[in-house]
């Protein structure tokens, strides 16, 4: 995945979904650009990661299956 810090300086328009917020200001959002790349970002900071839709789908599936549960302990 590419981070927003290492992405090229060419700005791409990202169509962001409504943010998903848990406690307080912990908000994340998903987006896509015209080329079909997928994005996950935080609100407020402008930071995001980008990859293919297939890679984002695999990441979300892995998180749903508990692959990141150890990070929450």
- Per-residue confidence (pLDDT) for residue 47, from 0 to 100: 86
- Per-residue confidence (pLDDT) for residue 12, from 0 to 100: 79
Q: Nearest 5°: phi and psi at 60? A: -60, -40
Query: What are the respective helix, strand and coil percentages of the chain, to the nearest 5?
Result: 20, 30, 45
Average pLDDT over residues 44-61: 90
Q: For the segment 6-47, what is each residue's pLDDT rounded down to a tens digit?
A: 444 456 799 999 998 877 677 889 999 999 999 999 887 878
Domains of the chain by residue range: 2-68
Report how far residue 24's alpha carbon sits from residue 69's, in angstroms, rounded to the nearest whole number. 21
């Amino acid at each position: 995945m590419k981070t927003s810090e290492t992405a090229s300086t060419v700005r791409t328009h990202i169509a962001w979904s409504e943010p998903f917020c848990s406690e307080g200001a912990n908000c994340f959002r998903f987006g896509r650009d015209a080329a079909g790349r997928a994005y996950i970002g935080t609100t407020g900071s402008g930071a995001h990661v980008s990859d293919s839709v297939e890679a984002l789908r695999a990441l979300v599936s892995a998180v749903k299956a508990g692959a990141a549960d150890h990070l929450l302990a």
